[in-house]
Amino acid sequence: MATKLNDAPVGIGSSLSRVDGKLKVTGGARYAAEHPVADLLYGVVVSGAIAKGRVTKLHTEAAMAAPGVVEVVSHLNRPHIAWFDKAYQDQVAPPGSPFRAFYDAEIIYSGQPIALVVGRTFEDARHGASLVQVEYEIDEHETDFERSPEFKPKKTRDTFVEPKNRGDEAGAYAKAEHKVDVSYYLPTEHHNPMEMHATTVQWHGDGRITVYDKTQGSQNVQAYLVGVFGFAKKNVRVLNPYVGGGFGSGLRPQYQVYLATLAAKMLERSVRVVLTRQQMFSFTHRSECRHIIRLGANDDGALQSIYSKAVTPTSRFENYMEPIANWGGQAYRCDNATMDWALTAVDTYTPGDMRAPGAATGMTLFEMALDEMAYETGVDPLALRLTNYSDRDEMMDIPYTSKALREAYQEGAEAFGWSQREAAPRSMRDGSELVGWGMATGIWDAMFQKTTVRAKLSANGHLEVATAGSDIGTGTYTVMTQVAAGALGLPADQVSAVLGDSDLPPSPIEGGSWTAASTGAAVQIACDAVRVKLAKAAAKVDGNPLGGASVDDLRFEDGRMILAADPSKAVGYGEAMTAAGVSEIEATEAAAPGPLESIGEMLGVKKKAKNTHSAIYAEVKVDEELGVVRVTRIVCAVAAGRIVNPKTARSQILGGVVMGIGMALHEETLADHRIGRFMNHNFAEYHIPAHADVLDIDVIFVDEPDSEVSPLGIKGLGEIGIVGTAAAIGNAIFHATGKRVRSLPITIDKLLD
């Protein structure tokens, strides 16, 4: 992709406009369903109507007879696919047996794909799909997770953190002067990126396929297709240069890529499959959660005991779990803490990671319970958090690499005007509206994953940095451009970042907020290697003007190497390369956690905790008679290490906060347990925040230098914005109305109840 927006020198810390901006505002950025392919067929998915049972008869005759229908693919006629679970287990698969569409007649969740109608045009396929009739044998199902027995699987996900308890919670709670014992609930949520999941498979006819997929990891999908369909790895190229949002929905290979590839293999034709918005509710979701929280505290608000237990559903075929219960026990100083968790199995698809999985649920609900303790003790909510402040990860009993949360509390409170708050509920008013101010804490992990980047400098001064990773709207192209431009002293328009291609050097999936830290470090290291090669090439220039100086003695600016000790001596990059007889200089380098660190983390002896933190302050206005809630003001102060690009970083936080507004007031997938199906599977009934719901949001980044968390001191920002935001809003609603709603979202019916 070309970057022609800014020719000023940039580096880490500059507010460069998004380098893919021009393509995105002109319609030039192509997403998965938009890559032109000759002789393309279109597939439309037929979704199952029952939650459990089997297909006894599939009537496809009418569809096959319809004009333009080429084939109806199903379990009855599919080509061979792998037998063993291992082939289906992608990089982030939870323990279990991944879903296989069309494997046999069995139906294990409502909305399961049961046929793919392939037609010459989209309209032909859609018409054909409407003609497919299905007969079922129906088995008893259970989709209500609170009616299924709790269990704890032996095998947990690699990323799951088992709670580590301390002290005597029950004893301390019994003796505590103030007690809060509450049950909170978060409903099922669906990711709903604006781009519906889609795949275009190009069948080359020589054994190769090119797959344009909506995914957060091109190489994760490549490995999956190789395993499931038996293609040679070299014959499968997966591309996702632009991804219309993900929020976790594209972490695992989803069934649209499986079905498009299955049909392409069967028909030996190029095939495109685009899911409908309804079908976007049929493959992954944030799990609902019952969170039991019991707190004991002294008169001054000092916590004496914490009990936190989270129960979440998983599917019958995989054990998906999130660390939900731990966060309060990590964040606050308290000698006695017990955290616990359990799963229950239901007949739905497996839940999956959605923006800040675990923390968005657990910290949000915990922070609402903590607000109850503030009222129970009569201590200001901010003062209560400062009373229980800790510079250590209290659960693991280790220090942080950095934690500037105190500064975030303070700067956020000043910007918001928190000191002007009247403590009593219903004490602030603006005309017919009750005014409420609430606050909460956010916490998320600062992760780092091995990432490899190839840097290539051409003699004309153009630098390309490339890796297989993704930019799902997070700004990865821009971050890479900035780091590379800074490292080699080039203007942004002489740098291009390339992403979204499984043929490029290895990158993990785009998730966990680790991409800026990891990819940024890899770009830096690869560019550093180019600098070393450039310095060596400079020694070949006639008269060796730099005297064989090493990189440490040189400044790399404006496309030239300048001797730091004598700036009159300089060699241009092109000049050095010509002298060395090369037309380009290339280096491929990996950034990875240090070996000791990796082994330590594997053995569970992490020496320091790595986390981002935030302080969120919210103002709501609630119509006293109608119960309508408006979030009129939010201040989100974030401590997240080094900020690469203040402009795009701010947008990341805005996005997280807006999704937090959705969690507080709008988002809720409702199931009809009698038929075992999600009912409100469209944007008219599954509400997400719209323009009118989002008023003022102020983002503050507090200074937090950290040389340990990652090579460039970056912590990542994709998720911290959502954590705790719904709690700040819920707490503000209590302050406004005096009504404590312990089940999100806080809708009008609950306030007027």
Partner 1 sequence: MPTKLAEPTAQTAERLIDIDLTVNGKAEHFSIAPWVTLLDLLRERLDLTGTKKGCDHGQCGACTVLVDGKRVNSCLTLAVVRDGSEIQTIEGLSSGDTLHPMQQAFIDHDAFQCGYCTPGQICSAIGMLREGKADGRDAIRENMSGNLCRCGAYTNIADAIESVQGREDAR
Could you say which residues in the range 165-194 bind partner 1, by CB under 8 A?
Answer: 192-194
Other Cβ atoms closer than 10 A to 453: 34
Does 28 contact partner 1 by CB under 8 A? Answer: yes
Q: Hey, what are 114's tokens?
A: 């049961």
The least CB distance from residue 718 to partner 1, in Å, is 10
Per-residue mark of binding to partner 1, 40-59 (x: CB under 8 A):
---------xx-----xx--
DSSP string, 553-586: GEEEETTEEEETT-TT-EEEHHHHHHHHT-SEEE
Which of 186, 196, 325, 490 binds partner 1 (CB under 8 A)? It is 196
CA neighbours closer than 13 Å in the CB half-sphere of residue 555: 11
Size of the site for partner 1 (CB under 8 A): 80
Does 747 contact partner 1 by CB under 8 A? Answer: no
Amino acid found at 81: I
Which run of H or E residues covers position 305? Answer: strand 303-315
Which of 324, 537, 658, 664 binds partner 1 (CB under 8 A)? It is 658
Does 683 contact partner 1 by CB under 8 A? Answer: yes
The least CB distance from residue 654 to partner 1, in Å, is 6
β 236-239/113-119 pair status: unpaired
Does 648 contact partner 1 by CB under 8 A? Answer: yes
Q: Hey, what are 388's tokens?
A: 């229980």
Q: How far is Cα of residue 12 from the mean position of the Cα atoms in its chain?
A: 23
Assess contact for 491 and 485: CB atoms under 8 A: yes
C-alpha to C-alpha distance for 403 and 715, rounded to whole angstroms: 11
C-alpha to C-alpha distance for 682 and 685, rounded to whole angstroms: 6
Does 684 contact partner 1 by CB under 8 A? Answer: yes
Does 650 contact partner 1 by CB under 8 A? Answer: yes
| 725-737 helix and 646-665 helix, angle to the nearest 10 degrees | 50
Nearer to partner 1, 596 or 692 (CB): 692
The least CB distance from residue 50 to partner 1, in Å, is 7
The least CB distance from residue 389 to partner 1, in Å, is 29
C-alpha to C-alpha distance for 412 and 418, rounded to whole angstroms: 8
The least CB distance from residue 279 to partner 1, in Å, is 11
C-alpha to C-alpha distance for 191 and 171, rounded to whole angstroms: 41
Which run of H or E residues covers position 619? Answer: strand 611-623
The least CB distance from residue 563 to partner 1, in Å, is 38
Nearer to partner 1, 154 or 691 (CB): 691
Does 22 contact partner 1 by CB under 8 A? Answer: yes
Does 17 contact partner 1 by CB under 8 A? Answer: yes
Assess contact for 554 and 564: CB atoms under 8 A: yes
Query: CA geometry: angle at 356 spanning 694 and 666, to 5°?
Result: 35
The least CB distance from residue 476 to partner 1, in Å, is 11
Which of 24, 86, 147, 233 binds partner 1 (CB under 8 A)? It is 24
Which of 253, 352, 381, 656 binds partner 1 (CB under 8 A)? It is 656
The stretch near partner 1 (CB under 8 A) out of 259-267, 296-304, 316-324, 647-655 is: 647-655
Nearer to partner 1, 95 or 689 (CB): 689
Nearer to partner 1, 370 or 723 (CB): 723
Does 737 contact partner 1 by CB under 8 A? Answer: no
Which of 13, 67, 205, 594 binds partner 1 (CB under 8 A)? It is 67
Which of 303, 339, 354, 657 binds partner 1 (CB under 8 A)? It is 657
Measured CA to CA in angstroms, residue 87 lies from 218, 229, 320 at distances of 17, 9, 18
Site for partner 1 in 218-247 (CB under 8 A): 242-247
Site for partner 1 in 114-153 (CB under 8 A): 121-123, 127, 130-131, 133-138
Phi–psi pair at 10, nearest 5 degrees: -130, 165
What residues contact 180, with CB distance under 8 A and at least 6 apart? Answer: 293, 294, 295, 297, 369, 372, 373, 376
Phi–psi pair at 290, nearest 5 degrees: -105, 120
Which of helix, strand or coil describes residue 399? strand
Does 31 contact partner 1 by CB under 8 A? Answer: yes
Q: Which sequence positions are flagged as catalytic? A: 719
The least CB distance from residue 244 to partner 1, in Å, is 3
Site for partner 1 in 259-318 (CB under 8 A): 274, 276-277
